[in-house]
Amino acid sequence: MANTCILSGLEIPKGKQNIEHLVPKSRVPKYIANNPYNLYPAHKVINCIKGNLLPCEFEERKFSLSYHALESWRMKSDDREFVRRTIENWEKNYQPDWCSICLLQCREKMR
């Protein structure tokens, strides 16, 4: 599902997709950050909410960060609704196995 957000598990609306560096560019060397196994489609707003957190850090803080964004960020109504739907999807147990896809855990993918 190429048009599914890795972070939310939801289909990304047209014009709202960008590339998520699962292991953030700011935290690893280029050869890890730009590895094809580190690049996933994501919704722009959810990607901004994740920021430069590692996947496991994001997993721990995703609810508080998303609620903070809903309360504090100026965003379009369709983006606000996507964040709400994302929270609902997480509550329904959408939870990727971050360790199985994280390049910091999967060294064989970097070879």
SS3 track for the chain: CCCECCCCCCECCCCCEEEEECCCHHHCCHHHHCCHHHEEEEEHHHHHHHCCCCHHHHHHHHHHHHHHHHHHCCCCHHHHHHHHHHHHHHHCCCCCCHHHHCCCCCHHHHC
Q: How far apart are CA 6 and CA 8, in angstroms?
A: 6
Tens of pLDDT along 24-55?
999 999 999 999 999 999 999 999 999 999 99
Q: Is the pLDDT of residue 109 over 50?
A: no
What is the value of pTM for the model shown?
Answer: 0.88
pLDDT at 1 exceeding the cut of 60: no
